[in-house]
Amino acid sequence: MINFQYLRTTTSKSALALLSKDKAAKFLAGGTNLIDLMKRGVTTPEKLIDINHVPLKQIELKGDTIIIGALASNTAVAEHALIKEKLPLLANALNAGASAQLRNVATVGGNMMQRTRCGYFYDTEMPCNKRQPGSGCGAIGGFNRMHAIFGTSEKCIAVHPSDMCVALIALDATVVLANQKGERKILFKDFHRLAGDTPQLDNNLKTDEMIIRLEIPINNLAKNSHYLKVRDRASYAFALVSVAAALEISDHKITDVRLAMGGVAHKPWRLTASENFLKGKEASTANFELAAKLAMTDAKGFGENDFKLQMAPNSIIEALTLAKSKA
């Protein structure tokens, strides 16, 4: 790890002022991903701005919207009574990620900003367009068992690793960002990016901005929701495929539905076409199967991850079935 300058701040205003002086600086919160990347030489910031003492840890209900501060820990969010009651899908997704020790220090904003766990990205001796643009993608034609089947490009087939973000995209969250001029809002579905020709850009956060909070609207999907995570071992593993499913059912008909997947794309993957198909239809296995088939349109395997082409639709069906069965 290279030498770096360490600064500490206690307000978002001062944090942004420090960032404005050096846009290559990095904010340090839980550090569960950033420090690993620094140790491996994947990222080498010369300045870290510690924002742990900035008051952005609130979890509260304002009108019909739940507010979650960017520095709220994953554990605090998952265990909060308001989240467990109103947004159990988010609580379940958070509890499916990492270990209890990591969840205790990892923050909401940091979770959103975490980078892919692709082995080629972490190995500085291997080609990776995300780490070094123009060097190539080692995963294409290489070891790609964990890699994407949706939204891929010739430059990158890495996946976004977050469980939390899969739930947030399904819940229509909004991200509030700030710079020295003020705040702006962006829909969560538009925060992360597909790789395209610029895989080094994970999201649409500008270099002079920081994440302030999430705003999540209350819905009627809490009762029938489920987060399914398929992985190589029961804990401490990233998803091969994950599914966030939530249903609103009235007289056996689906009046509203949310579906999103993780472990399959460079960003959390919302299944909008499948949602539109299911609305107004009976909550039946046959319809779940058709929705899963529709979700796989344009899916593409790269050899070692071809199994996801079958695992993904099966997981969608299972997640919808389990969501429907919730009392």
Q: Please give the residue range of the domain that contains residue 316.
A: 224-325
Per-residue confidence (pLDDT) for residue 154, from 0 to 100 = 97
Whether the CA torsion 19, 196, 229, 247 is positive or negative: it is positive
pLDDT > 70? residue 76: yes
Residue 327's pLDDT band (cuts 50, 70, 90): low
CA distance 130 to 134: 9
CATH of residue 265's domain is: 3.30.390.50
CA distance 238 to 232: 8
pLDDT tens for 87-102 read: 999 999 999 998 999 9
pLDDT tens for 150-196 read: 999 999 999 999 999 999 999 999 999 999 999 999 999 999 999 99
Per-residue confidence (pLDDT) for residue 200, from 0 to 100 = 98
Q: Are the CB atoms for 213 and 184 separated by under 8 Å?
A: no
Q: The whole model's pTM is what? A: 0.97
Residue 57 lies in a domain: no
Question: 5 forms bridges with which residues in the sheet?
Answer: 47
CATH of residue 26's domain is: 3.30.43.10
Quote the number of domains for the chain.
2
Residue 150 lies in a domain: no
Contacts of 2 (CB under 8 A, 6+ apart): 38, 41, 44, 46
pLDDT tens for 288-319 read: 999 999 999 999 999 999 999 999 999 999 99
Residue 94 lies in a domain: no
Q: Are the CB atoms for 261 and 242 separated by under 8 Å?
A: yes
Longest Cα–Cα distance of the chain, Å, equals 63
CA distance 19 to 210: 9
Residue 129 lies in a domain: no
Residue 1's pLDDT band (cuts 50, 70, 90): confident
Element (H, E) at 20: helix 12-21
pLDDT tens for 235-278 read: 889 999 999 999 999 999 999 999 999 999 999 999 999 999 99
Residue 284 lies in a domain: yes
Residue 271 lies in a domain: yes
pLDDT tens for 188-213 read: 999 999 999 999 999 999 999 999 99
CA 126 centroid distance within chain: 25
Residue 242 lies in a domain: yes
Residue 80's pLDDT band (cuts 50, 70, 90): very high
